[in-house]
Structure 1
């Protein structure tokens, strides 16, 4: 029942945060925030040892964190735009 221990989720979150520093691109940062949030919820007693529920909370928290990061640090002015259709259509 290692997945039900709060500090395992927090350590995994920090590990993913370190991986984000090594491989930047806002890919692992959302997962890191989701893992730390899941660990915090376990620590507060809001979640039990139910693995499917923990994974669902982790996935939802990661998706929410990614959406917020995308909103805050999204496409910058002057960034290359990708075209979906031909200009002559």
Structure 2
């Protein structure tokens, strides 16, 4: 059985991506971690046709990652009027 069709491999990847998000906070790895975890759960509970098809598995991962990233961006992203403006140079006295 190929590695990409094993649920625990997707969960391990999700854990690694979540750790990477803590090390390098950018809110992008969190979406990928959630997508990998969702894909792992779908493989665990046996979504028909997912385990046997690499393109379908990658598509599910991409869609779940995009949805998770959009939700994360909506919750923790830059809000309207929250733009940081610099009126002076830090080297000016």
- Please tell me the TM-score bracket, short chain as reference: 0.7 to 0.9
Q: Deviations over 1:39-86 (max 9, x none)?
A: 00000000222100000000000000000111111214662268xxxx
C-alpha separation in 2, matches of 1:64 and 1:72: 12
Could you tell me which residue of structure 1 aligns to residue 6 of structure 2?
5
Structure 1 runs of 4+ aligned residues shifted over 4 Å read: none
Number of positions where the alignment pairs a residue of Structure 1 with one of Structure 2: 82
1:64 aligns with 2:67: yes
Q: CA RMSD in A?
A: 1.7
C-alpha separation in 2, matches of 1:17 and 1:23: 10
Could you tell me which residue of structure 1 aligns to residue 56 of structure 2?
53
Deviates more, 1:68-77 or 1:36-45: 68-77
1:74 aligns with 2:85: no
Q: Whose Rg is larger?
A: 2
Could you tell me which residue of structure 2 aligns to residue 23 of structure 1?
24
Report if the CA contact (8 A) 1:3-1:49 is conserved.
no
Under a length normalisation based on structure 1, what TM-score does the superposition of the two structures give? 0.85
C-alpha separation in 1, matches of 2:51 and 2:3: 12
SS of the residue aligned with 1:58?
helix
Deviates more, 1:36-45 or 1:72-81: 72-81
